[in-house]
């Protein structure tokens, strides 16, 4: 008998699961603006984790995320 291995889900499905888990306590989104903000932020963080952006590379690792969000606020 082969050892049990978890089935690897597609990346989109994995992201969808994380997003659903985040939204479950909020009981969904009531307004289109809320949905747009949550989805945009979720996509940004996922892309940041995957290394598509290199914000605050010169900062120490424990400060990079905070500095990246500060840079993002200044860009908008």
Model pTM above 0.95: no
Residue 26 lies in a domain: yes
Residue 1 lies in a domain: no
Contact 55, 64 (CB under 8 A): yes
Compute the distance between CA of residue 14 and CA of residue 37 in angstroms, rounded to an integer: 20
Q: pLDDT tens digit string along 9-59?
A: 566 666 677 777 877 777 777 888 888 888 888 887 778 777 787 777 788
Structural domain including 61 reads 11-75
Token readout for 62 is 């424990």
Give the chain's domain count: 1
Residue 5 lies in a domain: no
């Amino acid at each position: 008998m082969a050892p049990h291995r978890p089935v690897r889900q597609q990346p989109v499905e994995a992201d969808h699961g994380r997003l659903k888990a985040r939204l479950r306590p909020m009981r969904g989104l009531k307004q289109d603006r809320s949905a747009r903000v949550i989805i945009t932020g979720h996509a940004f963080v996922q892309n940041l984790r995957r290394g598509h952006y290199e914000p605050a590379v010169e900062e120490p690792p424990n400060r990079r995320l905070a500095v990246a969000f500060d840079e993002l606020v200044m860009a908008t």
